[in-house]
Amino acid sequence: MTAPQPPTPADELRGAGLRVTAARVALLETVRAGDHLGVEMIAEGVRDRVGHISLQAVYDALHALTTAGLVRRIEPPGSPARFEGRVGDNHHHLVCRSCGVVVDVDCAVGHAPCLTAQDDRGFTVDEAEVIYWGLCPACSSTSSS
């Protein structure tokens, strides 16, 4: 007996109630293959896969995919928006103050009072966003030499 195949990007779009287009499939694949890409890099990746697409169409598709929960938008302060395909978990990010690289880090575990609002003011909290700032290994070694 063969194992069930994972859903294709087209299946995921349909499952989210979105119209399946070549551009949306290419955008979802580009985001998932990339590493916290900005809009320009995503547009370039989509163009490599399907040809011409306007920047506005990329923004519109990213908005639809983010709203549907298929991609995640992150926007570290002082940085343009970036998008990633890792969704459905409460992971956090490390951001290099020097070169701007962004990497995933699993959620803080153990006693982490900063992740629980002291007064949630009636909100139903379902996610906490934590950004760790510092220097990546490459920038750390450059600054210490």
Domain count, the chain: 2
Instruction: Kindly state whether residue 2 falls inside one of the protein's structural domains.
Output: no
How do strand 131-134 and strand 92-96 relate by DSSP bridges?
A: parallel
Q: Mark whether 51 and 67 lie in a shared domain.
A: yes
State how beta strands 102-105 and 82-84 pair. unpaired
Considering only CA atoms, which of 74, 35, 42 is closest in space to residue 61? 42
Contact 74, 34 (CB under 8 A): no
Q: What are phi and psi of 51, to 5 degrees?
A: 95, -155
The amino acid present at 107, given as its one-letter code, is C
Q: Is 114 annotated as a binding residue?
A: no
Residues 72 and 99 in one domain: no
The CATH code of the domain that includes 56 is: 1.10.10.10
Mean pLDDT by 10 residues, the chain (145 residues): 87 96 96 95 96 96 97 91 90 90 81 69 81 92 73
Residues 101 and 130 in one domain: yes
Tell me the whole-structure pTM to 2 decimals: 0.82
136 is annotated as contributing to ligand binding: yes
